[in-house]
A and B are shown apart, each in its own frame.
Chain A
Amino acid sequence: MGKKTYWGIIIATIIINVVMLQWTVEAFLGREYDVLFTYNIISLISAGVALFSYFQWRKVEYTK
């Protein structure tokens, strides 16, 4: 995949994580624990995707 794709993925994960954090806080305050765990898991997956894309991007970016 091209470098641009990794950029896109990483920016997308930031957007997802901002929204998930907001929703998690809402769910926590409203004691909706089941959805809270769902948001939490989505958020962690998206963080994982961000890290993974970063390493992939690094491979492409720093090869001559």
Chain B
Amino acid sequence: MTCKKKLGRNQKDTNDDMINLVDNLNREDDLKYNRRAFLKTAVGTSVALGVATIPFSVKAMLGMEKDYERVEITKLADLPEGESVVFNYPTEKDPALLVHTVNGDLKAYNSACTHLMCPVFYEKEQDVLLCPCHAGYFDVNNGHPTAGPPQRELPLIEIEVDNGIVYAVGRQYRHG
């Protein structure tokens, strides 16, 4: 029997009405995924996104900056040019880096990379701060990112030299 002789609904890939009755089986989906449901989800998304900003404000209010203490970092004599020393400031949980640059400047920054918090270190050959994780480069003179993924500058630690001893006295989060 050739196709021509068959009834419409018996032919290959037919669209005959009596075949496509099963399309009705999708009616549950039609009820669930429709225009109205889409809008409701959209509203839910918008509200959820809005509410998601609250925790940041709350955390910010709880953790407002306190006064900074004066903390001894190291003796200047122990830190020749081109060397750096690691310390923690303002709290034990904030690693920081004091650099005596090859040009003779003293610079200190929190050393957690502003990309994903890997510790940066001082690279004296190129006179830069380098984050090894994703090759992020920071200018050692102002802490601003120069290459790689980091977008924000490193927090600057204010230092003071007194009687050959270097002290940390403050911190600036966004600077320059």
Contacts and interface: CB of A to CB of B under 8 A. Distances in A.
A18 B114 contact: no
A35 B45 CA distance: 23
B40 A54 contact: yes
Interface string B30-69: 0000001001101101110111111011011000110000
Interface residues of A, number: 35
B174 A32 contact: yes
Which range contains the number of B residues in contact with the other chain?
A: 20 to 34
Given A33-B60, A51-B47, A44 B152 contact: no
A30 interface: yes
B173 A31 contact: yes
Given A31-B65, A33-B64, A47-B51, A25 B46 contact: no
A29 B59 CA distance: 11
Contacts of B47: 47, 50-51
Given A13-B46, A44-B54, A31 B36 contact: no
A28 B53 CA distance: 10
Interface of A: 6-7, 10-11, 13-14, 17-18, 20-21, 24-33, 36-37, 39-40, 43-44, 46-48, 50-51, 53-54, 57, 61
